[in-house]
Structure 1
Amino acid sequence: MGTRGYVGRPDATDPTLLHLRYVHSDAVPEYMAPTLVAIQQVTFAGDTTATVTALLSCVWAYLGADVTASNAFPAGDTPVPGVGMAIHAAPADPPITVPTHRIGELSGQWIYLLDPQTNTLTVLSTDDPANPAATYTFTEPSTTAATGGQQ
C-alpha cells in the first residue's frame, strides 16, 4: 500500500486551520519533499499559489512531477500532468479542513503544508505535529535544484 499522507495549506486567515487532500501512497518525506519542490518549481514555474490550487483540486493516488497524460493506472484514475495521479475522475468533494490540534487524529503518517504567504513547505509527522520534521523555503526556479532549500 505505501505510506499515506496529506498535502495542503494553512488557512489564509486562520493559521489554526489546515485545508488538506489525501495522498494514498509514496507520502514519505524522502520522496514527497523533492517531488513537491519539483511540482512547484517545474510544473508551476515557482508559483506556490498555483501549486496549492492544483494539489487541493483532487484526492491523489500519488504525486509526481514526471506524470504525463499518457500514464495509465489500473483503477482508471486520472493523470494530472506534472502533478500526479488523481483518484477517480469524478469531481471531488472539497478539501478537508482540520484544526491544527487534531492533526494527530488523521489516518496518514505525514502532512505537507505549502504556504503561499511564506513561500515554504513544512513537513509534519502526525505522531508529533508540534515539531516540524523539516521546513523548506522555495526559491526562484532557475536557482533551485529539485531538492529545495532546507532550513
Structure 2
Amino acid sequence: VLELGAGCGLVGILCAHLGARVTITDLRCVLPLTGHNVRLNALPPGAAGSVRLGELRWGDDLRGSLPRGSFDLIVGSDLSWAIQWDGPLLLATFLQLAGERTLIVVSLVLRPTQVQRWREIFGRFFSVAVVATDDDPELL
C-alpha cells in the first residue's frame, strides 16, 4: 500500500494495523509529524503489517525509486484541497505509479465542483466514481 499526501498518516497507519506493508509519503516538511504519529501508534511486535516513511513530491520522476506497479493499492485522504493547482502533478504521479492492477482509492471532502474537477483531470486515464457520500443513509 502507498499513501500519498499522508499528512498525519492516519490512513497508512490503519492499513498497517490491518496487516498491510505500507509506504507513507508526503513532503519532507510534513514527515516529522507523520513519523511522530507512526511511533505513537506503533505496530505490536510480530505484527504482519509494516510502515516506512518517504518523501514524495507529486510530479517528481519516480522511475528509480518506485517502479510502476509496485503497489496494489494507492490511497489518499482529502487530496482534493489542492487539486485545482496540483491536479496535473498528482496525475503525473498516478501515471508513474499505477500498474494495470493497481487500485487507487481517494477520499475527499465534497467541495463544490470537486468531483467534476477530478473527472476532468483523471477521467481520461482512470475510472472516477463516487462510492459513497456523507448523505448516503447506508453509512449511518
What TM-score do the two structures reach when normalised by structure 2? 0.32
Of Structure 1 and Structure 2, the greater strand share is in 1
What TM-score do the two structures reach when normalised by structure 1? 0.31
Decide which structure has the larger Cα Rg and report it: 2
Pick 1 or 2: higher relative contact order, CA cutoff 8 A, min separation 6: 1
